[in-house]
Structure 1
Amino acid sequence: MFNGHKAITYLITLVWLINGLCCKVFNLVPRHQEIVETILQVHNGRPLTISIGLAETSMALWIVSGYKRKLNAITQIVIITSMNILEAIYAPHLLLWGKWNGVFALLFILVIYTNLFLLKKRAF
């Protein structure tokens, strides 16, 4: 039987893992480091970018652990909102989708919210 809640949970996890590990820690998308350097006004943002990437990777692990799911979802929403506001203010020229980044962030937030607070209830 297909479990939509579980599938979406893994997709959300994958987003955090790819952005944290691949884009930031492994530096496969150098633009992420440029964003960090621009927002924090530092010349060598590599250590900070790696730290942020490790934190995002930790978020992925927290999601799949299932520990305190509601707190996790709220934390994700706060982090995504904060990151996107800072990026829109300080580094809009570096964003992949420019002004549309906020729309995609909002859609991701809605997926997180719907998955935990609406779909989770139906999964049992």
Structure 2
Amino acid sequence: MKAATLSRLLAYALAAVWLVNGLYCKVLHLVPRHEAIVARILGPTYAAPLTQLIGLAEMGMAVWVLSGRYIRLNAAVQIGLVAIMNVLEFFLAPDLLLWHRMNSVFAALFIVVIYIYGFGLTLGRKQLL
């Protein structure tokens, strides 16, 4: 498979993850434990609107991924966000995670995929940053 084709497939997959987590889990509130995690970390007072704002930001990340602009910066931001989010959840809300502390394994694998997308596939596409 050519690097450009793999890059495009990874972009669609990454965008899908951000879109599903943002729209379905947070904005549409179809997975209430996401709001519970936000409440545990940031406090219950504004957990509902903050969860929706986080969801909108995740949807924005999906759009950014699909835009193909500033791929390396985008990958670095994704890696930072996923790492920070998962460290916070690991220590502050492990009981609310789908796979408890094992979520960190899946987060690490997701970070590897993001890294490959952003920094490992340079052939066949123009790097904008």
CA distance in 1 between partners of 2:73 and 2:120 (Å): 15
**Pairs aligned (count):** 123
1:70 matched to 2:72 = yes
Q: Which amino acid aligns with 2:106?
A: F
Q: What is the aligned partner in structure 2 of residue 123 from structure 1?
A: 124
| Identical positions, percent | 49
2:74–2:118 contact (8 Å) kept in structure 1: no
Range with bigger deviation, 37-46 or 78-87: 37-46
Q: Which amino acid aligns with 1:20?
A: G
- Tell me the CA shift for residue 43 of structure 1: 3.9
CA RMSD of aligned residues (A): 1.4
Structure-1-length-normalised TM-score? 0.93
Any stretches of 5+ residues in structure 2 without a counterpart? none
CA distance in 2 between partners of 1:52 and 1:62 (Å): 15
- Tell me the CA shift for residue 44 of structure 1: 4.8
Structure-2-length-normalised TM-score? 0.90
- Tell me the CA shift for residue 8 of structure 1: 1.1
Q: What is the aligned partner in structure 1 of residue 19 from structure 2?
A: 17
Q: Which amino acid aligns with 2:14?
A: I
27, 30, 37: which one aligns with 2:29: 27
Q: Deviations over 1:7-31 (max 9, x none)?
A: 1110011000000011000001001
